[in-house]
Amino acid sequence: MKEEIQKELENHIIPFWDALCDYERGGFYGFESYDLKVDKNAPKGVILHSRILWFYSNCYLALKKKEYLEKAKHCFDFMKEHCVDREYGGVYWMTNADGSVNDSMKHTYCQAFFIYAMSSYYNASGDQEALELALGVFETVEKKCVDSVAYLEAQSREFELIENDALSENGLMADKTMNTVLHLIEAYTELYRVSKNEKALERLIFQLKLTYDKIYDKEGSKLLVFFDKEMNVIGDIHSYGHDIEATWLLDRACGVISGDIGEKYIEGFEELKKNISEMNRKIVQNIAKTAYRDGSILNERENDKINTWRIWWVQAESVVGFLNAYERYNISEYKDISLSVWNYIKEKIIDKREGGEWYSQVDENGAPATFKPAADPWKCPYHNGRMCLEVIARL
């Protein structure tokens, strides 16, 4: 499995994204169709670029090939020049192909990925400017994107609240989402790990508490998805992919905190860590029971309707999540699930066409969704690339 996955990373995923590098205008091309045609004039997502920067930075850290760090720097140079709002703070949602602003929305989810990427690039390169940018956006989030309950989400360039349609779906308009909190945890874990910033640690613990107290459905052994301003749940949705992804990201957050604080006492942390560990155990057990089918993981449930699409990122996160659960709980079923999902990815998700990467999604018969692009503001090398890097490191 490890050998196959390292080969997939180095011989397939990385070359696909290498080919999308825009040497003329900076950054990476923002769109490639299902037919593998690149639109060189498409807008460039800031989330996409954050995920690409994270990807190449961590490929370099794992594999030590200088060309990966060069690609990371190419992405970093574009982002620091075009994605950061030097007047109002934070980062934009989207640029045009030439780097001019396309959508000036400030979304907390987008800020989180920028922090995550800059922290990793600093770790890979030692470039102090990247850490300063990460800390600057972190301070902006904590100043502009928090209310008395939790984190705000969609705001204008000047940080005025707007409708959160970028992260709402299923006919619901959510004020707050599990998804944003999860990726803030991911970002703050990395920021704290590389900077040892005490405020980042304090806010990371707040986010972990928020997850356990407000987002975790203790009766249903799952994470709630959409919320109103006061963090009251709206809708009845179970996102299988986010659940399994959350288990290992939350484990990592607790591990980074525990590994660093040593003998230092943080009131309530040991109890919180124990609660999150038990929460993760129950979530994994629930996903294995309800979402694992035919060697793969289903997408989600809305009310009584099961979405049976097999989504690329859901499969990737399941490989890592169940491998992590096997390591944590020594339950052989979880090892078997991780391996079977990888086999499913090999057979159904990997796009074997010349120049392809992974299909965005396939139906229950394994037929790819031809209406989904090969690369766009959301389709990126982050989930599948991270799967590869996690497997290589863990095995």
DSSP per-residue string spanning 61-122: HHH--HHHHHHHHHHHHHHHHHTB-TTT-SB-SEE-TTSSEEE--EEHHHHHHHHHHHHHHH
Q: Which of 196, 200, 184, 191 is nearest to 250 (CA)?
A: 184
Give per-residue pLDDT as tens, 213-233.
Answer: 999 999 999 999 999 999 999
The torsion of the CA quartet 261, 263, 267, 269, rounded to 10 degrees, works out to 50
Q: Which of 28, 2, 4, 127 is nearest to 381 (CA)?
A: 28
Mean pLDDT of all residues in 363-367: 97
On whether the CB atoms of residues 124 and 72 are closer than 8 A, the answer is yes
The answer to whether residue 261 scores a pLDDT higher than 70 is no
On whether the CB atoms of residues 249 and 182 are closer than 8 A, the answer is yes
Q: What is the CATH number of the domain that holds 282?
A: 1.50.10.10
- The DSSP 8-state label assigned to residue 347 in this structure reads I
**H/E stretch holding 206:** helix 198-210
- Residue 266: pLDDT band with limits 50, 70, 90: confident
Which residues span the domain enclosing 141?
2-394
Question: What tokens appear for 254 in the block?
Answer: 């607790």
Question: What span, in angstroms and rounded, lies between the C-alpha atoms of 80 and 76?
Answer: 6
**Residue carrying structure tokens 């984190």:** 151
Mean pLDDT of all residues in 294-311: 98
- The DSSP 8-state label assigned to residue 213 in this structure reads I
On whether the CB atoms of residues 28 and 22 are closer than 8 A, the answer is yes
On whether the CB atoms of residues 88 and 24 are closer than 8 A, the answer is no
Question: What span, in angstroms and rounded, lies between the C-alpha atoms of 370 and 69?
Answer: 33
Q: Which of 144, 151, 269 is nearest to 201 (CA)?
A: 269
On whether the CB atoms of residues 167 and 177 are closer than 8 A, the answer is yes
Query: 57-66, 94-103, 139-148, 165-174: which has the minimum mean pLDDT?
Result: 165-174
Question: What span, in angstroms and rounded, lies between the C-alpha atoms of 206 and 43?
Answer: 35
On whether the CB atoms of residues 123 and 72 are closer than 8 A, the answer is no
> SS3 for 127?
coil
Q: What is the length of the chain?
A: 395
Give per-residue pLDDT as tens, 75-84.
Answer: 999 999 999 9
Q: What is the mean pLDDT of the chain?
A: 97
- Residue 267: pLDDT band with limits 50, 70, 90: confident
| pLDDT of amino acid 97 | 98
- DSSP-assigned beta bridge partners for residue 305: 302
Phi and psi torsions of 190, nearest 5°: -70, -40
Question: What span, in angstroms and rounded, lies between the C-alpha atoms of 328 and 74?
Answer: 38
Q: Which of 371, 233, 287 is nearest to 360 (CA)?
A: 371
Give per-residue pLDDT as tens, 165-202.
Answer: 999 888 899 999 999 999 999 999 999 999 999 999 99
DSSP per-residue string spanning 215-271: IEETTTTEE--EE-TT--EES-EEEHHHHHHHHHHHHHHHHHHHHHHTT---TTHHH
Q: Which of 314, 184, 169, 309 is nearest to 243 (CA)?
A: 314
Burial of 287 (0-12, 13-18, 19+ CB in 10 A): buried
The answer to whether residue 263 scores a pLDDT higher than 60 is no
Question: What span, in angstroms and rounded, lies between the C-alpha atoms of 273 and 250?
Answer: 9
**H/E stretch holding 306:** strand 305-307
| pLDDT of amino acid 171 | 87
Question: What span, in angstroms and rounded, lies between the C-alpha atoms of 377 and 387?
Answer: 19
| pLDDT of amino acid 364 | 96
- The CA angle 338-340-341, to the nearest 5 degrees, is 65
Mean pLDDT of all residues in 90-110: 98
pTM for the model stands at: 0.97
- DSSP-assigned beta bridge partners for residue 237: 302
Domain count, the chain: 1
